Amino acid sequence: MTVTGGSEVYGVIGYPVSHSLSPVFQNAAFSYLGIKAVYVPFEVKPEDLKTALEGLRKAGVKGLNVTIPHKEAVLEFADTLSDEVKAIGASNTLVLSEEGISAYNTDWIGFLRAVEEIVDLSKKKVLLLGAGGSARAVSYALKLRNCEVYIWNRTRSKAEELAKKFSFETVSSPEEALGFVDIIVNTTSVGLKGDDVLFNYDLIEPRHVVVDLIYRDTPLIRSAKEKGCLFQNGFPMLVYQGAESFRIWTGCEPPVKVMKLSLKDFGYPTDSPRTPSRT
């Protein structure tokens, strides 16, 4: 990658942000298409968000991804919100210009593009684990596909609030829905570190499709593999949400294969989700 005067600057704001893999695949995409641009991580504390956004905009930064913990807070500082941002209540993509800041959300479409690589979501019955920011984007996507969604969340009131918003159901335990759902989606942070589990994973059946938004092989994903289920960890969604941000910023078709390939050394899944043990 060559960075010269005249290169456009993009980035990701979060706290912490050093672990972010977005610079890896966004820079790979810029390089591949010969776009003179560079993508960098910006660590911004919550109390500095307003100042940082204004400073980055005034310094000529063209676009930003937004990650934890700023996805909801940025709405307050944006001049325009897309319809999806209004519906989801969170933004992961900002366009900065002399006119101001426009907020978009690509998490929902990233989820659809990723998961629809392995399964047709249309009208499926889904157990949604979690009711935070990611769950809201996933709910928006599942609603578009007319899915029947059953939400479980540790804090029941948040599950009920989300279910009400999208006309979904809630369940008092994940086990309650396992018998009749086709797809299990984990949007909680459980499994990110260590061996924490959300329910007894022995109850997962080979017919379940298991999706985890965490981009490592969590205990949930490992159990799905052992059962011979179709499964997907969070890497494909990470790439597709970023690919859609890239499209908004540049107007170019994102080179998704290049983006995926750039993450191979960081654990992007190279094994087929269709495990041979599935019968």
Give yes or no for residue 158 binding ligand ATR (CB under 6 A): yes
Residue 153 as a binder of ligand ATR (CB under 6 A): the answer is: yes
Write down the least CB distance from residue 142 to ligand ATR, Å: 15
Q: Nearest distance from residue 56's CB to ligand ATR, in Å? A: 22
**Does residue 189 touch ligand ATR according to CB under 6 A?**
yes
Three-state SS for 66?
strand
CA atoms of 91 and 84, how far apart (whole Å): 9
- The single residue of 71, 124, 227, 260 carrying the catalytic annotation is 71
86 is catalytic: no
Is residue 14 within 8 Å of residue 66, measured between CB atoms? yes
Among 11, 63, 132, 174, binds ligand ATR (CB under 6 A): 132
**Using rule CB under 6 A, residue 133 touches ligand ATR:** yes
Given the complex with ligand ATR, which of 8 and 176 has the nearer CB atom?
176
- Determine the straight-line distance between the first and last CA of the chain, rounded to whole angstroms: 46
Q: Is residue 14 at the binding interface for ligand ATR, with CB under 6 A as the rule?
A: no
Closest C-alpha among 198, 203, 210 to residue 173: 198
- Smallest CA-to-CA distance from 209 within 107, 112, 125, 109 is with 125
With CB under 6 A as the contact rule, the residue among 36, 58, 154, 207 that binds ligand ATR is 154
Piece in contact with ligand ATR (CB under 6 A), picked from 56-64, 79-87, 127-135, 162-170: 127-135
Cross-strand bridge partners of residue 128: 151, 185
* 256 contact partners, CB below 8 Å, separation of at least 6: 239, 240, 243
User: Rounded CA gap, 242 and 107, in Å?
Assistant: 8
Q: Which residues bind ligand ATR (CB under 6 A)?
A: 68, 130-135, 153-155, 158, 187-190
Active site residues: 71
